[in-house]
Structure 1
Amino acid sequence: MRLRLFPQEPAGLNLLSQMARQLVLATGTLAEILGVPATEHNRLVETMHEHEAKSSELQFALLTHMRTSFVNPLPREDMFALSRYLNEAMEKLDAAAELVALYKLERLPKRAADQLEIISRQAELTVDAMRRLNDLDELEDYWIEILRLAKRAERTHRVWVADMLKDMKSAQYARNRDVANQLVDVTKDMRRVATQVGSIIVKES
């Protein structure tokens, strides 16, 4: 059976999808930062700040839409929670980029690229999932896949930390650990988005 909420009011879902799209773009920018000399970090960090500002702008637009729209595609508390988790994920990506620049980190271990790949995949899946929240068919697969990716990110983080402890001096370890923590926290925020979607599926089924 096809489950539909209020398909006549898709604007809020489009805004959520655009927020997820900013995460895809920001992940690409952070990948660029990790691949260039430290002298180029500040320019790309400014681009990251622009992604973060756009995410906040989209969240404010969503809040305005929810206040002024008579009919919303989801309960307001669900839409607010989804926008909050997406924006918090963006803030952590922005922080990771800024830390790379502040610490002048030119070479991060391959684990950093692995985490960015996971985040990018989570964000890409979420772009599509946010658009389809007024038609809940197959979104259970989205929820399960995001949780699988989040678990993979946790394992990658543990291995990354163990490798750093083994190979790095204390100051270098501390700087790299800060970045690693921000990245794994992004995957946790994406997991919160998926868990919220799971809650919506249960409530509306």
Structure 2
Amino acid sequence: MAFFARRIERPMYDLFGELAELLVQSADTHSKLIGQGHRDRVRIAPRLHDQSTRAEELTRRIAQRLAESLVTPYEAELLYDLALTMADTLDAMEHTGELLAGTRVGTLPTPLLEAATGIERAAELTVSASWKLSAMSEMGDYYPQTRKLKRQGDRLVRQALAELYRRGGAVGEVLPLHDVAHSVRRTLELQEQTARIVDLLRVKDS
């Protein structure tokens, strides 16, 4: 059975698709920024702000469409939470960018670069999932795959923190890197939360 096929107009799905595409763009920007030096980070970081701002605008448009639609309050709440969580994910990546651009931290531990690659992969999965919101039976294993990427990312963040502590150094150098690692972890958490909401919608539609 199509997910809300008779009750939500096609543009609703398009808005979620646009939001998911922004996630992919931001994940790519996020990876580039993490892998660069300070000067390039300062140059790249504003892209994350622009992408996050566009995501907030899309979320407002989705909220308006939901207010005009005939979905149940429960369904509307889940869909709104989905949009908000996706926007929060972009905000988390912007936060990472602000931390890196606002400090002069050097090369990040390699596991953080690998975690950023996992964030890109999860964003790509979210785009694929957004195309199937009108046919939830085709959703496949989006949530299990994203959950697996989140667990891998958590392990990589722990490895990065361990490497950071082994390096030692002045507090002014260690703390910013520590904050960056936790910001990356927050992005991973929000991506899993996005997939969990979609899975709730799948269960609701089954």
TM-score by length of 1: 0.91
In structure 1, distance between residues paired with 2:103 and 2:3: 48
Partner of 1:186: 187
- Cα 1:78–1:140 shift into 2, 3 Å: same
- Cα 1:69–1:203 shift into 2, 3 Å: closer
Partner of 2:84: 84
Partner of 1:69: 69
Contact 1:34 1:106 in 2 (8 A): no
Partner of 1:114: 114
Partner of 2:40: 40
Gaps of 5+ in 1: none
Root-mean-square deviation (CA), in Å? 1.8
Contact 1:140 1:201 in 2 (8 A): no
Partner of 1:204: 205
Secondary structure class of the residue paired with 1:153? helix
Partner of 2:131: 131
Contact 1:85 1:189 in 2 (8 A): yes
Secondary structure class of the residue paired with 1:4? coil
Contact 1:55 1:90 in 2 (8 A): yes
Secondary structure class of the residue paired with 1:48? helix
Partner of 1:149: 149
In structure 2, distance between residues paired with 1:19 and 1:116: 19
May I ask how many residue pairs the two structures share in their alignment? Answer: 202
Gaps of 5+ in 2: none
- What are the Cα deviations for residues 79-101 of structure 1, in whole angstroms up to 9, with x where unaligned? 10101111111111000001001
Calculate percent identity across the aligned residue pairs. 22
Matched AA of 2:189 = K
Contact 2:105 2:173 in 1 (8 A): no
- What are the Cα deviations for residues 39-58 of structure 1, in whole angstroms up to 9, with x where unaligned? 23332111111111111111
Contact 1:140 1:198 in 2 (8 A): no
In structure 1, distance between residues paired with 2:66 and 2:60: 10
TM-score by length of 2: 0.90
Secondary structure class of the residue paired with 2:105? coil
In structure 2, distance between residues paired with 1:141 and 1:36: 34
Matched AA of 2:85 = Y
- Cα 1:37–1:147 shift into 2, 3 Å: closer
Partner of 2:57: 57
In structure 2, distance between residues paired with 1:7 and 1:124: 24
Give the CA deviation at 1:26.
1.1
Contact 2:93 2:184 in 1 (8 A): yes
Secondary structure class of the residue paired with 1:124? helix
In structure 1, distance between residues paired with 2:39 and 2:50: 19
Give the CA deviation at 1:28.
1.5
Partner of 2:28: 28
Partner of 1:172: 173
